[in-house]
Chains A and B, each alone.
Chain A
Amino acid sequence: MKGDTILETRGLRKEFKGFVAVNGVDLKIRRGSIHALIGPNGAGKTTVFNLLTRFLPATGGSILYNGTDITSVGAASVARMGLVRSFQISSTFPHMTVLENVRVALQRRHAGSSYRFWHSERSLSVLDAGAMELLASVELAPYAQLEAVELPYGRKRALELATTLALEPELMLLDEPTQGMAHEDVGRVTALIKKVAAGRTVLMVEHNLGVVEDLCDRITVLQRGTVLAEGNYAEVSGNPAVLEAYVGAEHA
């Protein structure tokens, strides 16, 4: 049976050549929630993501996903277990078409072994319909044949989301999905996240506190690699230590 907690870290720690970027972080992410990880620049949010998705090896502590210890599982395996991340900087396959971007993700889940170098391209076209459906859900269908590099920034983030969704992740890690976006794009992406979060769990880093308030059930505040506060929006935003951390960071 799957428990209430989808992801848990115990004493998670990361050192870069003596500099401690993540220092004894205990996280508990509830299944089905949208959980925010916030904190000033350099707090270690992205590093936590890198540790959770095994893009970086942890220096100490452990990570439990669905009750399984994944602290020493490979990055690709973790992704195949349903824990899928996006990146802080928009991350597409620039010179593949928008359709191919999503299809290469679908292919991993649905097309059997992708080591079949002797199969023809036709064996992939069965995935086109599914890819188009995903693109339609993020309003990218009209751009399907463009190369991803040609999309405007906001659309690239939408494409990234569609690519992540193609894997039907159980737990989705989004690193600043609205960063650098125009105001109207922020609204659209927020609505989109709300929509796709149904039936799954989302852990997101987000600087836009309006978005956090709107979307997130629970918030963890990170500062200098340690958890400063945790709670719902009202609790966290009323916490003087949190206010101080943000104001302090802004005046630093």
Chain B
Amino acid sequence: MIRKNNLSLVESPPEPRGAVPAVKIRNLSKWYGSFQALKAVDLTIARGEKLVICGPSGSGKSTLIRTINALEGFQEGQIVVDGIELTRKPEAVEAVRKRVGMVFQQFNLFPHLTVLENCTLALRLVRGVSQKDAEERALHYLGKVRIPDQAHKYASQLSGGQQQRVAIARALSMQPDIMLFDEPTSALDPEMVKEVLDTMTQLAGEGMTMAVVTHEMGFARQVADRVVFMDRGEIVEQGPPSEFFSNPKELRARAFLSQILH
């Protein structure tokens, strides 16, 4: 009941859900000092869409997806998440972060908490869910990522692949509408990449809206609805993976693909 009251601030008037895109980015520019990291980026992510973002190192991929949940600020342009305009106002940021889950390259699990506590803490503090319900929900998602029997261990006792799956379960426990992944497999040993990608593929199959920064082109081919190629703060080319991989139009995209596909 309390939840509903809190949310009504941002949820009214109720919009027809299908009509509003999950994320709408218009003319987004960001500077670090005098260095422009994003240059008038336009990007719309439809509900249920799976987006893969790729591009050379330093091209602004992380910066772009981190602006979506306000981990990075921006100077120009507009970001609208689920119909909510992202400003610097606490209510706007809170409402957006409620809808957006994030998975990091370095997992960023909380080392002083157990796996289960990692997944329940925000549920209890942010959503006001009771301890018992939070644990039930967390165990459900830990089961989904196939970590149910490690719930009482600490993160440092798990393998890298397991830690990243816990991080996914932690984000999912908050029941977001959109999931952001910033190179989720880049810090993993090769044999653990697959288990994390499998989990993400499964999630995609369930209809989650996903924006994934990755160089795993196999995953992009199989799962993505659209591939976005960035270079030097701009979106240079985008299209369905079949087209992008077989017939990239831009020179920079070709050079990049020839490099990562050998």
Q: Are A and B a genuine interacting pair, yes or no? A: no
